[in-house]
Homo-oligomer: A and B are copies of this chain.
Amino acid sequence: MRPWVNDENVALFTDLYELTMLQAYFKENMQETAVFDLFMRKLPKERNYLIAAGLESVLDYLEQLHFTEEALDYLDSLGKFAPDFLDYLRDFRFTGNVYAIPEGTPVFEQMPLIEIEAPIGQAQLIETFLLNQVTHQTLMASKGARVVHAARGRAAVDFGMRRMHGTDAAIKAARAFYIVGMPATSNVLAGQIYGIPVTGTMAHSYIEAHLDERKAFEAFASLYPDTILLVDTYDTLEGVRKVIEMAHAWGDRFKVRGIRLDSGDLLTLSKEARRMLDEAGLHHLMIFASGGLDEYTIDELLRAGAPIDGFGVGTRLGTSADVPYLDSAYKLVAYGGEGRMKLSQKKATLPDRKQVFRYYDDRGIMVRDVIARYDEALDGEPLLRPVMQNGRRLPDASPSLEEIKTYTQACMKKLPEHLLSLEPAKPRYPVKVSPRLQEEATRLRLHLLTR
């Protein structure tokens, strides 16, 4: 069996206990409606905000979730599942409701990014896939937003696929980075799947195969006139000199857009390269930088005045290297119309279906969020919207990628300035719990402790 995940086998992309619990609910005839919240317990100290992402993957999954005969045969082989339960799985479809904060919205701790309202077994089964996709995509969008901000309007392009964790990570990350404002990716398949612009230059191996750097530049520019030439294979400034010689030799035929530096001290090299290009009258040639970059190094380079016009950002972006995971959770908050909560140390949850209300100041800047019960009518902007009803995606639940990108850019303009710092913000963004929800949680906690 090929190790690819797809619509036919993704129903088994789940922790075993989701299936054993589903069978238990089936056998116990526990079919009442449950509500589960997907949320982040807290934000990493290195993140002042997160950007929600992953909802589209979730809706795609829920809409087509089913068990094939091959999947049922495998489950049967485990010796844990009864024939009547496997029959039930044969007809299994997700029939619940989904409420979600739109992709691209800044989000914070404790608030549900997604709420699932469905018969409890259904809502339970989907936990693993939902956490896997939403955690990763939100992680990537949040890291990408920082890189975009650090680049101060210069292009920051996704070069990360080669060291991301597997193929799915690279496809989904390219989409997340596009949403938060990266103009392009090097990932061709993500380009095909999502219609994201693809970009790239040349590798050192191309220069080395030709041995002669100048000949390699000329061959590549003959085929791709507006290319960017990689100048650091042998000696960076010598490489720049060859580009200048070539520009003079080619005259009007020279359409090269820029050079790329991929190693060494990027500050010194970019300044020296800029000086050389300017002296040669090549003011319009741009300087691109890559190699070990992230928001911290980009910020440092630009603060120091590095004349860099664009960045290729790879591994540290693509693995969110300073924060490689988020503290996400998917928790039961109601069953059969009654609130539920966990009292475990440090992992207690808020009960009941919810709404998140966002408040803005006069200038339209976010000032605080309030997590309330779903049926409270506070005067803030409600963030959770219905996106799926009885297993069917609602119209308007799936904006186009361009619409999501536009929405995300607009949201990011509403973030308080101090949250955009790359350092931990003080104060953190305030997330409150409404008095009514707080009261409900206290009441339920007492009830659970005194039963």
List the interface of chain A (C-beta within 8 A of B): 1-7, 9-10, 12-21, 23-25, 27-28, 30, 34, 36, 57, 60, 71, 74-75, 78, 80, 120, 124, 127-129, 131-133, 135-136, 139, 159, 161-173, 175, 186-189, 191-194, 198-206, 208-209, 211-212, 219-220, 223-224, 232-236, 262-264, 315-316, 319-321, 324-326, 328, 331-332, 335, 340-347, 448-449, 451
A164 and B136 contacting across the interface, CB-CB below 8 Å: yes
A74: which B residues are within 8 A, CB to CB? Answer: 191-192
What would 13 more interface pairs be, CB under 8 Å, given A18-B203, A209-B335, A316-B325?
A: A1-B193, A12-B188, A13-B161, A15-B159, A124-B203, A131-B162, A132-B163, A165-B319, A233-B343, A234-B343, A235-B343, A263-B345, A319-B325
A209 and B19 contacting across the interface, CB-CB below 8 Å: no
**Copies of the chain in the assembly:** 2
Nearest 10 A/B pairs, CB to CB? A166-B168, A17-B200, A16-B200, A165-B165, A205-B332, A324-B324, A165-B169, A166-B169, A131-B162, A5-B167
Of chain B, the residue at the smallest CB distance from A216 is B24
User: In the assembly, what is the distance between CA of A272 and CA of B211, in Å?
Assistant: 69
A344: which B residues are within 8 A, CB to CB? Answer: 204, 232-234, 236, 262-264
Known interface pairs A16-B200, A169-B165, A205-B124. Does A345 touch B264 (Cβ–Cβ under 8 Å)? yes
User: In the assembly, what is the distance between CA of A326 and CA of B346, in Å?
Assistant: 33
Our pick among B12, B193, B209, B223 for the contact of A192 (Cβ within 8 Å) is: B12
Shortest beta-carbon distance, A73 to chain B, in Å?
A: 9
A187: which B residues are within 8 A, CB to CB? Answer: 13, 15
User: In the assembly, what is the distance between CA of A7 and CA of B1, in Å?
Assistant: 12
A315: which B residues are within 8 A, CB to CB? Answer: 325
B19 and A342 contacting across the interface, CB-CB below 8 Å: no
Of chain B, the residue at the smallest CB distance from A131 is B162
A326: which B residues are within 8 A, CB to CB? Answer: 163
A16 and B188 contacting across the interface, CB-CB below 8 Å: yes
Known interface pairs A200-B17, A219-B24. Does A127 touch B162 (Cβ–Cβ under 8 Å)? yes
User: In the assembly, what is the distance between CA of A262 and CA of B165, in Å?
Assistant: 27
- Can you list 21 pairs linking A and B with CB atoms under 8 Å apart? A3-B57, A9-B189, A10-B189, A12-B188, A12-B191, A13-B170, A13-B187, A17-B200, A18-B203, A25-B209, A120-B209, A124-B203, A124-B206, A128-B162, A163-B325, A165-B166, A165-B168, A205-B340, A236-B344, A263-B344, A263-B347
